[in-house]
Amino acid sequence: MRLALMISALALGLAACSQSTDRYSVPVANGDVPAIYQARSDVGPNGEPITIPAVRAAYLNERNQRQRVPYNGPEAPGTIVVDPYARVLYHVMENGEAMRFGVAVGRAGKGYNGTATIQRKQSWPSWRPTDNMIRTEPELYGQFAGGLKGGMDNPLGSRALYLYEGGRDTYYRIHGTMDPSSIGKATSAGCIRLFNQDIMDLFDETSMGTRVVVRSQAESLRLEGPLIETPEGYVVPASEASALGFSGQPTNVTDTAPATTEGLTEQLQAPLGAPVAPVASTAPASPALVQDPFASTDTAFVSPVESAVPSW
């Protein structure tokens, strides 16, 4: 059964949320994979042992690896700042610094911006497709109508943080992933996902009531500057493009997503929309200036499952 669920989840993906400097250190272990990204043993939702595989070195580029960086935002220490356009998450520290994490951004990751608080934390969260998803695509979601318990087969990964605003669930999640190759990229579903090792440590460092700021596109551009999307689907600062071998002027990408939403709940329950097409360019060989995290539809992993509302 476990294998069947894993194959089904992968099929869905291919078809288609007191700081400790010791915990946040990144010592280098054997080979190219830092110790914090090596395999871990954990306890599953029913007390069973779970082994979390090491993150492959190929997925740990400079921007994806957890690292302490200078921070120029206005937020107070302890705040979590999510930038879905730069595809990073900051945990703000003292002395003008923050711990930066690479994230994958699903379409629901852009459906909310503003200030919220963490009002629920869940280890090995379960999830269930919404009724609308089951009704509109029964062949895809019907088998999961009873929900899927937490574990390595669950696309929400090892941990989840749930954002609330004014006592109301925003349906915005920060969670792990079953596909580490997606981190740093834009996908067409889900919220904000991290490597399982990263979300586990962030989870432990995050208390209930922690303030979370999700940046708008304008805030991202002002604080991070323009970003270039590489052929592999990652983003880098436009100012570094030449040094990284990119030539020519970057091409803007039209943000075709709605500027406002009536609520993320509706977005999560709606069928997935058509892929976002980039604007025609006179220099197609040049990478795009990323202003919309869903500008590129050529992603290796797309999981509509991660847009489902996790079950309680």
The catalytic site residues sit at 175, 191
Q: Which residue reads 């520290």 in tokens?
A: 93
b/e code 189-212 from CB counts within 10 Å (16+ = b): bbbbbbbbbbbbbbbebbeeebeb
**Residues written for the chain:** 312
Virtual torsion, Cα 98, 53, 87, 231, nearest 10 deg: 130
> Which is it for the CA torsion 91, 148, 179, 269, positive or negative?
negative
In the chain, which ranges are continuous DSSP H helix? 2-15, 131-136, 138-141, 196-205, 217-224, 264-269
The one-letter amino acid at 169: D
d(CA 192, CA 28): 26
Residue pair 281/131 in contact (Cβ under 8 Å)? The answer is: no
Planar angle of CA 212, 213, 219, nearest 5 degrees: 165
Burial class of residue 120, CB neighbours in 10 A (0-12, 13-18, 19+) = middle
